[in-house]
Amino acid sequence: MTTEYNGDSKASHNEKMQWWREARFGMFIHWGLYAIPQGIWKGKEIDGIGEWIMHRARIPVNKYEKLAGAFNPVEFNAKRWVKLAKRAGMKYLTITSKHHDGFALFKSNASPYNMVDATPFKRDVIAELAKECKKAGLKLCFYYSQKQDWHHPDASGNDWDFNPDEQDFAKYMEEKALPQVKEILTQYGPIGMIWYDTPQDITEAQTRAFVDAVYELQPDCLVNGRAGHDIGDYRSMGDNMIPPVRLKGDWETPATLNDTWGFKKNDKNWKSTKSLVCRLVDIVSKGGNYLLNVGPTAEGVIPNASVKRLKRMGKWLKVNGESVYGASASPSPHEQSWGSITSKPGRVYLNFVSWPDRKFKLYGLQSKVKKAYILSDRKKKDLPFKQENFPDSDVDVLRINLHSSRPDKYVSVVVLKVEGEPEMDPSIIQQADGSVVLEAVSASIQSPEEGSQLVSGRFGTLENWLRTEHVLQWDVKVIKPGIFDVMVFSQTEHGGEWEGAHRVSLDTGESKASGELLENERKSNPRTDVLRKEILSRIGRVMVSRAGRSTIAFQADHLNTEKGLGLKLRAVHLIPV
């Protein structure tokens, strides 16, 4: 990501990012004409995300645009939406000023296809939101679909009305997209960020034009990571994607509460409040922000199921926000089996997703602990603890005596006051349950060629694995030696397609397991989008006979390239037998 674009020095970039780093949690709002069909067209349920209905059902422009004449959200109340974001503990609000369907929620002189000029409602809902955000101290940010616009004959995405060979993208940029970006940056006061999306095959010059337009009008306004060509102020993960390890630099996960962004009547697949709080602390523990979506109805109402969950999250944050707001990532790059670690200078927060035994052990903390207490305990009563070192494996261990009952039904937080900057052993340490988790993206890659072909993508895997010469290596600290089952996790494409039958092997130095990747189990991963599944393949058993450091290597001995998808490796787990 080019974070020093526009001549910004690192210091001024840091200054610009400050509110965003402090915020950690924002509200995404997907609202537009698609809320009217709510996922159903001509009586038929249309698959996929709600705001894509025009595309999925191939609805002609002259039919779809008629929805504007019926868009009359009489229940819309900007104050109520802003109040909900505040109550949820969200610090910024990003709304779809224009989504792929081309309809603008703001008053636009560049195109009459907008809320004020094309609907019976006639109110500039963005102006009303801007006013309420300002009053409430919430940063207002705009999503803008810069490349796809299914309503404009020269933009991308609509190949059922327009012929891609006859399109002139520059014309669309000049007459609609750039003028509209200028409008949203001049009509509503200071804007926190412009959130571009789906750059597709946009050229670098076009991306620069979109980014320049922002910085010229509002130098302090951030640009997200989807303008194109890795230009922007921070990195955007894939939709609903949480990386498997801590990442360097600023990043954000945009995510849904159910499976859709724009309102869909029949999408009832709501995530539980507990799993939402877990995602929040997981993201913060890896250094990111959580931009969580609501999709209001065509009447202008945020669904009750969303309101309920957000209010509960807000209640949790009221008590436990210290572990989230302004917090940095975990001092360790790796996930913990029991929950997530966040930090501040002099503080480590253990965010327990599952409440452990009375005698809890944390591996790898190198900082000296001065005090331990439960964050929700107003009296900050001391929890007894002890720090020592396992000499065989050279693992630092902190033992804490906890109460037998969990303090919070979602996530319980234990605070450790430590001396100075929190520090943890960066090694992969065997987990307390005996398993060893080897994440593909944290391996060191041995490749005979200059520069590896393998890339860690936005979806949490190593991608582009089409040739056999790469070897992945991990250094592991083993506490309890033994025999382990080798389980390989690979990821399907968006939609579930998967190429198996690769032959892979795992070598511990003293024993080796080899096998074919067969689909033993297909699983969802809460850290990835619902349409990307994980395939679990057991390839055999290995032995590690002594405690201490061990180097583990993984390679593909034969890759099946029939479909050309390659191996998308997420992780290898060693499970003690």
Nearest to 411 by CA among 525, 282, 529, 528: 282
Tell me if 71 sits within 8 A of 33, measured CB to CB.
Answer: yes
By CB under 6 A, residue 363 contacts ligand H79:
no
Beta bridge partners of 542: 484
Tell me if 2 sits within 8 A of 212, measured CB to CB.
Answer: no
What are the E-state strand segments in 245-390?
Answer: 251-255, 288-294, 339-344, 347-352, 359-363, 369-374, 385-390
Q: Which is nearer to ligand H79, 49 or 211 (CB)?
A: 49
By CB under 6 A, residue 252 contacts ligand H79:
no
Helix (H) / strand (E) element for 316: namely helix 304-320
Q: CB under 6 A: which stretch of 52-60, 336-344, 401-409, 546-554 binds ligand H79?
A: 52-60
Residue 261 CB, nearest distance to ligand H79 (Å)?
4
Q: Which is nearer to ligand H79, 239 or 250 (CB)?
A: 239
By CB under 6 A, residue 51 contacts ligand H79:
yes
Distance CA 45, CA 231 (A): 38
Q: Which is nearer to ligand H79, 261 or 498 (CB)?
A: 261
- List the strands of the sheet with 235-236, edge to edge: 222-223, 193-196, 139-144, 92-98, 25-29, 288-294, 251-255, 235-236
Task: Please report how many Cα atoms fall inside a 13 Å half-sphere around the Cα of residue 416, on the Cβ side.
Answer: 29
The total of other beta-carbon atoms located within 10 Å of residue 544's CB is 23
Strand, helix or coil at 234? coil
Q: Which of 254, 288, 356, 407 binds ligand H79 (CB under 6 A)?
A: 254
By CB under 6 A, residue 34 contacts ligand H79:
no
By CB under 6 A, residue 102 contacts ligand H79:
no
By CB under 6 A, residue 149 contacts ligand H79:
no
Site string for ligand H79, 184-203 (x = CB under 6 A): -------------xx-----
By CB under 6 A, residue 261 contacts ligand H79:
yes
By CB under 6 A, residue 275 contacts ligand H79:
no
Kindly state the tokens that stand for 244: 């498997």
Q: CB under 6 A: which stretch of 50-58, 112-120, 270-278, 448-456 binds ligand H79?
A: 50-58
DSSP 231: B
Q: CB under 6 A: which stretch of 51-59, 311-319, 329-337, 400-408 binds ligand H79?
A: 51-59
Residue 44 CB, nearest distance to ligand H79 (Å)?
15
Q: Which is nearer to ligand H79, 241 or 443 (CB)?
A: 241
Residue 462 CB, nearest distance to ligand H79 (Å)?
21
Q: Which of 132, 149, 239, 250 binds ligand H79 (CB under 6 A)?
A: 239
The residues of the shown chain that bind ligand H79, judged by CB under 6 A, are 48-49, 51-52, 55-56, 197-198, 239, 254, 261
